[in-house]
Structure 1
């Protein structure tokens, strides 16, 4: 029976391509399901052989550790260079998006506090 190795929800294309290449290099049989039209399913990469799943999982764990280390190193380098994204750079680049996000957060907080405020009266 096939087992899900990677859910493709919020997975960047380069990461999915790396996983496909890794599975091909290790000669692990897999197939991919595409996201549904309505967004119910995000799609995934499935390993077809149960015995190969353990090998695929180990390879995936190694890949994720390497990717994590690389991303952390890139972020640290960007911080040292002063090019890392900060709240202020986001505010300058997309002020409407940032303001709407902050207003949305405040609205949710008010709605969550509203029952407590009404019960105290």
Structure 2
């Protein structure tokens, strides 16, 4: 019976492709499902042979640990060069978008709190 191995929801295409390649290189038998047009399905990589679960899980865990270290190093490098994304840099780069998102957040907060404020009267 197939076992869920790796969720693909919110996974960048590059990472998903690297995981697929890693599993193929080690001859891990898998198949993939998509979430579908409405997003009601499960986008994932499934393991065909449960006997390969330990090996596949180990490969993916090692890959994700390496990826995390690589991303932390990249973030540290950007911070050292003064290029790391910060709120101020995003505001300077896209002031209108940042303002609209802040207004949207304020509107959602107001709509969420208004019923409770009316109870105080």
TM-score normalised over the length of structure 2: 0.90
Q: Which runs of 5+ in 2 are unaligned?
A: none
Tell me, yes or no, if structure 1 residue 25 matches structure 2 residue 34.
no
Deviation at 1:29, TM superposition (A): 0.5
Cα distance in 2 for residues equivalent to 1:96 and 1:11: 28
Match of 2:53 in 1: 53
Worse-matched range after superposition: 86-95 or 7-16: 86-95
Shift of 1:3: 1.4
Aligned to 2:68: 68
Aligned length, in residue pairs: 121
TM-score (norm 1): 0.90
Instruction: Measure how far apart 1:7 and its partner are.
Output: 1.5
Provide structure 1 residue ranges, at least 5 long, that are not aligned to the other structure: none
| Matches of 2:44 and 2:103, distance apart in 1 | 34
> 1: distance between equivalents of 2:63 and 2:74?
16
Task: Supply the RMSD in Å over aligned alpha carbons.
Answer: 1.5
Specify the SS of the correspondent of 2:11: coil
Residue correspondence of structure 1 range 94-105 to structure 2 within 5 A: 94-105=94-105
Note the alpha carbon deviations across 1:45-77, whole angstroms, 9 max, x for none. 111111112221121111111111110110011
Structure 2 residue aligned with 1:38: 38
Kindly state the Cα deviation for residue 120 of structure 1 after the two structures are TM-superposed: 0.9
